[in-house]
């Protein structure tokens, strides 16, 4: 596919590098020559210095032949104008990053009137991801398939956990839990286990299950299941606003600590059901005064990664609540992972993942369709949901007779309203949705998981 990206910030850079690696023809546009040069030098990506809202610049980038146009500059208005011109000047689909809550309220209208294929709001995406984790505090990360009927949950084995020294096959044979263990992370290593793989203390485990079966599994291994009833948010920016709105709608009490007085007034007006505290969230005295030790959840959403990390470490040390940390910079991801943080949210990665998921879905190929895609472990393991159609090479044979590529797993089969954790005798049928976990990069067709003979 030929894709044009306007905006070479972190999201644009992540998108360009990922899509280029998947074999797409990428052209980037930005007014900053240094950013364009840096991105062009790193890869074979074509770079153009100029205003992405000018038709002549878009024409130079090849808008007439483009399949997709993505505008992710720092300005909502510029992104919408870029997409409008691209829609008029070419025949491609368009995606605009729109962050302002006033525009977000009109997102359906804007999408329809401007002919946008999608609007992206990084702050809302991050807030939604955090809300999912807070509603299931046992997990470090929660990804959903089939409109929430199947979940992929990541959690860490605590000291003394019942699973330690058990094998994967014991989960079914001994615990009698209908879940699938699909990934084990141990230090810097990540692998898709087999039945004889043993769990070790400190492992990070990813399971696939229905919400009901996941809850039953966590009960049987005596893992924390206490629901979050109240949350303290450090930082009242856009992500804090969206998160507060989402949580109050599901009955969770929210406190937002924000040091800017004008922003506090705005939050009080727009979120009347929330306690807004005008104070500095980096003050230990303030955090203690407002009950950090007793809160069920703490989310650090300041504009500084260093502050978010320190606040989260303090929150984890002060109480037993769920702790979520927002990290904006991607450069030190490997260092951050070594810290003893509970759940880490990278808004820029989440945004690029949503767009890449859409790009994959555009590449519908014979026998399958990518419905949903998640980077479970960045650049290592992905989970994809496929819609199976007539003629697919994985249908009408028992799973045990199919020969899969190494480190590939069918994690779930969805047939109508039924969720099946697959066993060897199960048969995939046309019309099913299947969830695949694999280390194969750029998985776009269901036949990619099979070993060719």
Taking residues 309-334, what's their average pLDDT?
88
Do 200 and 244 fall into the same domain? Answer: no
Give me the pLDDT at residue 368, please. Answer: 47
Q: pLDDT at position 442, please?
A: 65
* pLDDT per position as a tens digit, 175-220: 888 889 999 998 878 889 888 999 998 899 999 988 888 888 888 8
Give the domain CATH number at 248.
Answer: 3.40.50.720
Are 6 and 115 found together in one domain? Answer: yes
How much is the average pLDDT of 359-374?
64
Give the global pTM.
Answer: 0.81
Q: What is the pLDDT of residues 424-443, one digit of tens each?
A: 889 999 889 898 888 876 66
Same domain, 157 and 87: no
| 186 and 102 belong to one structural domain | no
Lowest mean pLDDT, pick from 49-63, 315-329, 331-345, 366-380: 366-380
Distance CA 99, CA 366 (A): 36
CB 87 within 8 A of CB 114: yes
φ/ψ of 437, rounded to 5, equals: -115, 125
Helix/strand/coil (H, E, C) string of 18-49? HHHHCCCEEEEEECCHHHHHHHHHHCCCEEEE
Q: Does 366 score more than 50 pLDDT?
A: no
Check whether residue 307 and residue 374 sit in a common domain.
no
Query: Is there a single domain that holds both residue 116 and residue 6?
Result: yes
Residues 332 and 383 placed together within one structural domain of the fold: no
Clarify whether residues 201 and 237 are in a common domain: no
Would you say residue 353 lies in a domain? no
383 shares its domain with 399: yes
* pLDDT reading at 43 higher than 60: yes
Q: Has residue 351 been placed in a domain?
A: no
In a domain, 225, yes or no: no
In this structure, is residue 350 part of a structural domain? no
Report, as an integer, the average pLDDT of 48-62: 95
In a domain, 257, yes or no: yes
Return the closest-CA partner of residue 106 out of 129, 73, 80, 74.
80
User: Total domain count for the chain?
Assistant: 4
CATH number of the domain to which 372 belongs: 3.30.70.1450
| Residue 354 placed within a domain | no
Could you tell me the residue range of the domain that residue 275 belongs to? 230-345
pLDDT (0 to 100) of residue 452: 63
Other residues' Cβ atoms within 10 Å of the Cβ of residue 101: 16
Q: Given 220, 253, 284, which residue is the final one in a domain?
A: 220
Q: Which pLDDT does position 364 carry in this prediction?
A: 56
**Residue ending a domain, choose from 296, 317, 345:** 345
Domain's final residue, options 66, 92, 120? 120
- Domain annotation covers residue 31: yes
Same domain, yes or no, for 198 and 279?
Answer: no
10 Å CB burial of residue 303 (0-12, 13-18, 19+) is exposed
**How open is the CA angle 22-338-373, to the nearest 5 degrees?**
30
218-to-94, 178, 191 alpha-carbon distances in Å: 42, 12, 22
Looking at the fold, whether 137 and 235 belong to one and the same domain comes out as no
What pLDDT shows up at residue 334? 72
> Do 260 and 240 lie in a common domain?
yes
Within a domain: 107: yes
CA nearest neighbour of 86 among 108, 104, 62: 62
């Amino acid at each position: 596919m030929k894709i044009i990206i306007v905006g070479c910030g972190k999201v644009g850079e992540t998108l360009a590098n990922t899509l280029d690696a998947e074999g797409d023809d990428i052209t980037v546009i930005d007014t900053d020559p240094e950013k364009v040069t840096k991105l062009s030098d790193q890869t074979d990506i074509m770079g153009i210095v100029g205003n992405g809202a000018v038709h002549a610049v878009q024409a130079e980038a090849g808008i007439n032949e483009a399949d997709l146009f993505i505008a992710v500059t720092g300005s909502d208005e510029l992104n919408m104008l870029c997409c409008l011109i691209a829609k008029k000047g070419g025949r491609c689909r368009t995606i605009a990053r729109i962050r302002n809550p006033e525009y977000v309220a009109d997102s359906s209208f804007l999408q329809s009137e401007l002919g946008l294929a999608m609007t992206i709001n990084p702050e809302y995406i991050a807030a939604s991801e955090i809300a999912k984790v807070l509603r299931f505090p046992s997990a470090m990360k929660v990804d959903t398939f089939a409109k929430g009927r199947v979940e992929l949950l990541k959690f860490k084995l605590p000291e003394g956990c019942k699973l330690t020294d058990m094998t994967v096959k014991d989960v079914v044979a001994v615990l009698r839990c209908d879940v699938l263990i699909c990934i084990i992370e141990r230090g810097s290593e990540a692998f898709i286990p087999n039945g004889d793989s043993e769990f070790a203390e400190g492992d990070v485990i990813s399971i696939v299950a229905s919400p009901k079966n996941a809850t039953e599994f966590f009960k049987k291994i005596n893992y924390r299941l206490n629901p979050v009833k109240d949350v303290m948010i450090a930082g009242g920016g856009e992500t804090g606003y969206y998160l507060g709105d989402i949580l109050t709608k599901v009955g969770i009490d929210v406190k937002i600590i924000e040091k800017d007085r004008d922003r506090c007034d705005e939050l009080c007006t727009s979120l009347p059901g929330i306690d807004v505290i005008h104070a500095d969230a980096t003050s230990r005295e303030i955090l203690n005064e407002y009950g950090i030790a007793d809160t069920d959840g703490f989310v650090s959403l300041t504009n500084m990664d260093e502050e978010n990390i320190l606040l989260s470490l303090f929150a984890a040390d002060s109480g037993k609540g769920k702790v979520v940390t927002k990290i904006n910079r991607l450069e030190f991801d490997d260092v951050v992972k070594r810290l003893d943080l509970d759940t880490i949210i990278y808004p820029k990665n989440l945004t690029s993942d949503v767009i890449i998921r859409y790009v994959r879905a555009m590449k519908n190929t014979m026998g399958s369709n990518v419905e949903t895609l998640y980077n479970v472990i960045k650049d290592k393991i992905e989970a994809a949901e496929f819609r199976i159609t007539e003629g697919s090479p994985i249908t009408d044979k028992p799973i045990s007779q199919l020969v899969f590529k190494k480190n590939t797993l069918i994690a779930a089969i969805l047939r109508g309203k039924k969720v099946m954790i697959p066993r060897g005798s199960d048969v995939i049928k046309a019309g099913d949705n299947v969830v695949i976990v694999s280390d194969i990069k750029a998985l776009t067709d269901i036949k990619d998981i099979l070993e060719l003979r």
